[in-house]
Amino acid sequence: MTGLLWVTWRQHRAVVSWTTVLVLVVVLFSPDLIDWAFRNAFGAVVAVFWGAPLVAREFEERTYLVAWGQDVSPARWLAVKCGLLGSAAVVLAALLDVRQIGFTLFGFALGVVAGFVTRRTVPAIAFTLVGYVLVRWLFAGETSVWLFESSVLCGVFGAVLIPVAFVLLSWRTNAFRMGVA
Amino acid sequence: MGIHVEGVSKWVLRDCSFELPSGSVTALVGANGAGKTTLLSLLAGLLSADSGQVRADGRVAFVAQDKPLYKHFTATDALSFGKHTNKVWDQERAVGWLSRFGVPLKRASGRLSGGQRAHISFAVALGSRPDVLLLDEPLSELDPLVRKEVTAALLGFVADEGTTLVLSTHVVSELSGVADRLLLLAQGELLVSGEVDDLLGSHVSYVGPVSTAAPGPGDVVLARHTAAQSQFLVRTPSPVSVAEPWVSRPVSLEDLVLAHLEVAE
């Protein structure tokens, strides 16, 4: 592994590993009730444990000064982290239920944005959880809202939130400066 | 030119302009809150200026004052992080620094002392072989006994490579013999900027009987009066000798900095 792929794995391997194990156990062995509950909670798990700490912890422990102070530009750092972790979350969501993909993407993006807003891990988690549950509740049920199924709608929200994260990044730092490793 | 700053304002900083030639060693001094960290963050590209231009030629490395590191990373992980996030990486140099200062390679940095963490931060910065190295209060976490050795080692590295070094400090006594240039900030304003030799040559101290005015030419930076004598620290392009009973004395870098800082308070 090289470059930011190494960095992403080294920093997030623990949370990615335990989430993967949990998903595999649920998919392969779990009884129906736990199965149903976990499938529906997966987006929240990714939101709270993958998305929210992503930048909140960097601010809280002041390591953003290290992460964004190397040759790699902050924008590239965020793009690679969101790309890799977002893709991994989508694959795991798809293993559970295709409908979870949209919810999971939304949760992840909401968590990242919350991290920029609060700059603290625990408030970012709280903010994310409240926002996630609120949106899931507003667009609950199997019925379609505005012609979209709620999962698709949440996926669209997630796709909108990711550019918001880049705007917030460029407020905090000289995100797109030259120099790419 | 190593660093070029023109008319830069950001937060407390107001309209700062200066140039630092490549390979120079600059001490950035000022009281807490004077804008030292803001200025270094701008030079590092971590902040964007509200107005004005900042240009640092080449690759820049920055070590923040509190020496942040990922708590779960060992020193080895931190060096791998440096290798994977920089275009240039010198593993030998980075490991050499850690072994020189006896930093354990396999222990999580959260369980190391402040001094050991500072050395890991220096090792990552030096390993990336920067053209411009920015150190914010580099010695603050270190044991007084090793400060001299660390300073000498850092200066050795930058001299060998022609690196442009800027280091901030509020410990004025650590300055002598370190920097060849001085930047002095007070409340966001750049009060003094220039080569140390020129600055020492253009400041002089007059000591004599109690008086309200300085006995020689120059702008009075600081006047001190006791019951028996007066002392004026003045800035003048060409210090002259003064008539008896006054004497003129050269000033040290420490005197000069302290006088400017005291007046700015």
Is the minimum CB–CB distance between A173 and chain B shorter than 8 Å?
Answer: yes
Interchain CB distance below 8 Å, A71 and B85: yes
Residue A142 pLDDT more than 60? no
Interchain CB distance below 8 Å, A177 and B124: no
Average pLDDT over chain A reads 91
Interchain CB distance below 8 Å, B124 and A66: yes
Where is average pLDDT lowest: B100-104, B183-187, B237-241?
B237-241
Written as one string, the DSSP assignment of A46-106 is HIIIIIHHHHHHHHHTTTHHHHTSSSS-HHHHHHHHHHHHHHHHHHHHHHH-TTHHHHHHH
- In this prediction, residue B265 has a pLDDT band, given cuts at 50, 70 and 90, of confident
Of B48, B68, B128, the CB nearest to A70: B128
- In this prediction, residue B156 has a pLDDT band, given cuts at 50, 70 and 90, of very high
- Reported as a single tens digit per residue, the pLDDT across A154-163 is 999 999 999 9
B166's tokens: 């800027």
- Reported as a single tens digit per residue, the pLDDT across A79-114 is 999 999 999 999 999 999 888 999 999 999 999 999
Of A66, A177, A181, the CB nearest to B87: A181
Query: Are B45 and A180 contacting, i.e. CB atoms less than 8 angstroms apart?
Result: no
Share of chain B above pLDDT 90, in %: 88
Query: Are B81 and A7 contacting, i.e. CB atoms less than 8 angstroms apart?
Result: yes
Residue A53 pLDDT more than 90? yes
Contacts of B121 in chain A (CB under 8 A): 66
Stretch 96-115 of chain A: residues touching chain B, C-beta under 8 Å: none
Is the minimum CB–CB distance between B62 and chain A shorter than 8 Å?
Answer: yes
Interchain CB distance below 8 Å, A2 and B64: no
Is the minimum CB–CB distance between A167 and chain B shorter than 8 Å?
Answer: no
Is the minimum CB–CB distance between B50 and chain A shorter than 8 Å?
Answer: no
Distance, in angstroms, between A142 CA and closest chain B CA? 43
Residue A116 pLDDT more than 70? yes
Residue A147 pLDDT more than 70? no
Of residues A119, A175, A78, A63, the one with CA closest to residue B46: A175
Average pLDDT over chain B reads 94
Residue A181 pLDDT more than 50? no
Domain ranges of chain A: 3-172
Query: CB contacts < 8 Å between A and B, how many?
Result: 73
- In this prediction, residue A179 has a pLDDT band, given cuts at 50, 70 and 90, of very low
- Reported as a single tens digit per residue, the pLDDT across B44-66 is 999 999 999 999 999 999 999 99
> Length of chain B in residues, anyone?
265
Q: How does strand B164-169 pair with strand B25-29?
A: parallel
Residue with tokens 């290798």: B83
Residue A34 pLDDT more than 90? no
Contacts of B71 in chain A (CB under 8 A): 61
Sorted by where each starts, the structural domains of chain B and their CATH numbers stand as 3-196 (3.40.50.300), 202-264 (no CATH)
Distance, in angstroms, between A177 CA and closest chain B CA? 7
Interchain CB distance below 8 Å, A177 and B69: no
Stretch 195-224 of chain B: residues touching chain A, C-beta under 8 Å: none
Is the minimum CB–CB distance between A8 and chain B shorter than 8 Å?
Answer: no
B230-236: which pairs have CB atoms within 8 A and are 24 or more residues apart?
B231/B205, B231/B206, B231/B207, B232/B205, B232/B206, B233/B203, B233/B204, B233/B205, B233/B259, B234/B203, B234/B204, B234/B205, B234/B206, B235/B202, B235/B203, B236/B202, B236/B203, B236/B204
Contacts of A67 in chain B (CB under 8 A): 85
